[in-house]
Amino acid sequence: MLAALPWLLALLGPARAQEPLIVGAPALAFSLDAINEEAAVSIVRQRTVVLGEMVGLQPAHPAAGVVIYFFDRANGGDALRALAALARRYKSSNLRIVGILADADPDAADWVRGLGLEYPVLSDNHRIVADRYGVRQTPMVVLVDAQGLVFCAGGPSTAEFETAVEGEIKALLGQVPIE
């Protein structure tokens, strides 16, 4: 069996570094289970959240856009409540917010459930989605438009988090001119 390993590695080709996100390019598809299942069920009627079911071609649960928030408990966990305020503020605009916990924190499930968030927080224990999105440090925010294209991506500072993210949301929804 081990004799086949070099052949298999040659077949797979050299490892490639993840390409950076490009504004205007299709967002990378993902499907992850929610830690707070009730929030996911209220939005997509199941515990697994699939980006393509909210945006892109013929989504099952169409959204005006999706805010994807990559974080870990120590880096960005404090902004979850600010995102909850944004989720409430833009609910009527059909904007969706999804948190992605990019960490294998064994206590995170109880912590997330205790926050009582109305948007789903997804578990990416092995950082598969975070690595595909090129997340090198958390927190990181990616906005995806209704067509499934990357609208913007970056890591806003903690001090200006809610203001910065809300500015991008308004631009995504066409509520302010893009500078």
Q: Where are the domains of the chain?
A: 18-172
The pTM score is 0.87
Q: Are 71 and 77 in contact (CB under 8 A)?
A: yes
Calpha distance 169→88 (Å, rounded): 13
Can you identify the CATH homologous superfamily of domain 18-172? Answer: Glutaredoxin (3.40.30.10)
Amino acid identity for residue 90 in this structure:
Y
Instruction: Specify the pLDDT at position 124.
Output: 95
Q: How confident is the model at residue 12 (pLDDT cuts 50, 70, 90)?
A: very low
Please check whether residue 32 is in contact with residue 100, taking contact to mean a CB–CB distance below 8 angstroms: yes
The string of pLDDT tens digits covering residues 125-147 is 999 999 999 999 899 999 999 99
